[in-house]
Structure 1
Amino acid sequence: MWGFNLFKRPKLSGTQLAAILPLALVHTLGNVFTNMSLGKVAVSFTHTIKAMEPFFSVLLSAMFLGENPTAWVVGSLVPIVGGVALASATEASFNWAGFLSAMASNLTNQSRNVLSKKLMVNKEESMDNITLFSIITVMSFLISAPATLLMEGVKFTPTYLQSAGLNVNEVYIRSLLAALCFHAYQQVSYMILQKVSPVTHSVGNCVKRVVVIVSSVIFFRTPVSPINALGTAIALAGVFLYSRVTRLKPKTI
């Protein structure tokens, strides 16, 4: 879009690029760790562990943004994480590699969000969310492309896919659709991040995990136990509680 002048081309300084590079690095690591976890354990277990994102967000926001949450705010996060964990407890399969990868993705993704928020509010280096996310994505591609081609490149060639008994066109089309959907999700996520705090953003991600679990149950026609339904209800109640608690916080001038 920049090349065809469909979107205003940003004017970046060396200082801004240096500030964005760490964001691109943790963004890359966050996606890598998430996919590593998904490759080792069940989707439900990965999303159960990743439901702990708000706790990482609270900790990192206090460290880097000076946002110290009240005991009520911290307490309101407990039913969200607990509800998501309860909703997926019946299909969780523990594996140390998958567990540690999911925990690492929590740390890296929330570091990216908090540091991005810090960059957004820094008047000297501030830029709009679309530009920031676009630059992070380009840098992330440049970081991951060499490693991807070296380790996995041959596995995505038509010859290799055909030898594995896969439909080449189907694999490529589904990969393209998945990529477009994932990029759209990430871009919308950044648009939201510019308007809310990292903690609120991570709470919304917790709700997303409930949606992922429920969608997978519907798509794969997995039987739903009362515990799953109860966990979903607790998580949604926790989100409502959090929204009420944050409204009660005094506004700073």
Structure 2
Amino acid sequence: MLVPRAASEEPPQQARSTQSSNPQSLQLAVVFGLWYFHNVVFNIFNKKVLNFFPFPWLLASFQLFVGSLCMLFLWTFKIQNCPKITKPFVVALLGPALFHTIGHISACVSFSKVAVSFTHVIKSSEPVFSVVFSSLLGDTYPLQVWLSILPIMLGCSLAAITEVSFNMQGLWGALISNVGFVLRNIYSKRSLQSFKEVNGLNLYGWISILSLLYLFPVAVFVEGSQWVGGYYKAIEAVGNPITFYIWVMCSGVFYHLYNQASYQALDNISPLTFSVGNTMKRGWWNPVRPLNALGSGIAILGTFLYSQVASSKGGKKDGDACSR
């Protein structure tokens, strides 16, 4: 005689799936929290340094150098297993590393020219760039996705608009940064899919090293002749060299930590979801005023709508939820 399954009882396969997804969801939430926290701290120290030492090319190179040292330390002491380096692997990373370099230096230039809030307002359009470039590279998105990202951009813009300043170099730097980071995310995700034995942290480690090799020679050419004089002026303006060194070091360490967390998130999410998550951290720089609160609410609504669209695609993995 067959005994009917209780209504509240899950099928064994579904129960196992639920149990396995819960720890993964919790881990992803923790990674997102660290990503946001480290990014906030990075922006604070990055802007402090640039206020006294307006040489974004050198600072951006130093931040990549710190990240490269961190990864070499993890690999040397076996804290993180070093991936096997092959020619196809290095070739596959040349593109993402170049786009990362473009995105990083453009953002750093923008931060040196305008208020942090202005750069984040412009960069809140990143999901649109992600959808556009993903579509050009063969992915397709339903109309609901296009509509769901608009409130996110509008909300984050409203949340930061009370401190907007305008500068053409700052504007173009933020826009170019959007393009660079979106293309980096798309091609990094494809690299993760092509080299499944390499996790996000190791992928970012090698991207950091290659980006440093791209950026530093150009930095020397662009502003190298001004570094010594700029250094002495910065020390004189700050008053305490130790304080200045701490700011510079913190900008490098937290730059690596926030990118490390973001690439760990990219292990489990699509490039578009990555861009949406990246956008959601951009509106929280100002004191909470009615306009800021309205913008935050609209952004949260947009994120909810996007998550509903993504989850309605039949339970597919996030990387495939709204594409192909």
Q: TM-score range by the shorter chain?
A: 0.7 to 0.9
Q: Would you say how many aligned residue pairs link Structure 1 and Structure 2?
A: 241
Instruction: Give the residue type in structure 1 aligned to 2:211.
Output: S
- 1:202 matched to which residue of 2? 275
Within a 5 Å distance, the mapping from 1:178-189 to structure 2 comes to: 178-189=251-262
Is the Cα–Cα contact under 8 Å of residues 106 and 174 in structure 2 kept in the other structure?
Answer: yes
Of residues 142, 146, 168 in structure 2, which corresponds to 1:96? 168
Counterpart for residue 154 of structure 1: 228
Structure 2 residue identity aligned to 1:140: S
Aligned to 1:221: none
1:1-253 → structure 2 map (5 Å cutoff): 1=73, 2-64=75-137, 66-123=138-195, 127-150=198-221, 151-152=223-224, 153-154=227-228, 157=231, 159=232, 161-164=234-237, 166-211=239-284, 213-214=285-286, 217=287, 224-251=288-315
* 2:16 corresponds to: none
Shift of 1:250: 2.9
CA contact (8 A) 1:33 1:101 kept: yes
**Over 4 Å off, 4+ runs:** none
Amino acid at match of 1:74: W
Residues 1:163 and 1:210: Cα distance change in structure 2 (over 3 Å): closer
The CA distance in 1 between the partners of 2:215 and 2:180, in whole Å, is 15
Q: Percent identity at matched positions?
A: 37
Q: Is the 8 A contact 2:122 2:174 kept in 1?
A: yes
Q: Residue 43 of structure 2 aligns with which residue? A: none
Cα distance in 2 between the residues matched to 1:9 and 1:122:
17
State the AA in 1 paired with 2:264: M
Secondary structure of the 1:209 match is coil
Give, in whole Å, the separation in 2 of the partners of 1:75 and 1:5.
Answer: 46
Q: What's the CA shift string for 1:59-99, capped at 9, x where partnerless?
A: 222233x3311111110111100011112222212222211
- Between the aligned partners of 1:52 and 1:108, the Cα distance in structure 2 is 13
Contact 2:235-2:244 within 8 A present in 1 as well: no
- Distance, in Å, in 2 between the alignment partners of 1:6 and 1:78 is 41
Q: For 2:214, what is the secondary structure of its paired residue?
A: helix
* Shift in CA distance, 156/133, structure 1 to aligned 2, threshold 3 Å: farther
User: Deviation string for 1:162-207 (max 9, x for gaps)?
Assistant: 3445321111112112211111110110011110011111111111
Unaligned runs of 5+ residues in structure 1 are: 218-223
Aligned to 1:220: none
Q: Which runs of 5+ in 2 are unaligned?
A: 1-72, 318-324
In the TM superposition, what whole-angstrom CA distance separates every residue of 1:105-159 from its partner, at most 9, and x where no partner exists? 0000000000001111125x762212111000111122222333452442575x5
Give the counterpart letter for 1:68 in structure 2. Answer: T
Question: Match for 1:182: what amino acid?
Answer: Y
Alpha-carbon shift at residue 233 of structure 1 (Å): 1.2
Separation of aligned partners in 2, 1:155 and 1:121: 46
Closer/same/farther in 2, CA of residues 155 and 208 from structure 1, 3 Å limit = farther
- Deviation readout 1:27-52 (Å, 9 max, x if unpaired): 11111100111122221111011000
Shift, 1:252, TM fit: 5.3
Alpha carbons 1:120, 1:129 under 8 Å: kept: yes
CA deviations on 1:203-240 (whole Å, 9 max, x unpaired) are: 111111023x24xx4xxxxxx43212211111111111
Larger radius of gyration: 2
Rate the CA distance shift 1:156–1:40 in 2: closer, same or farther, 3 A: closer
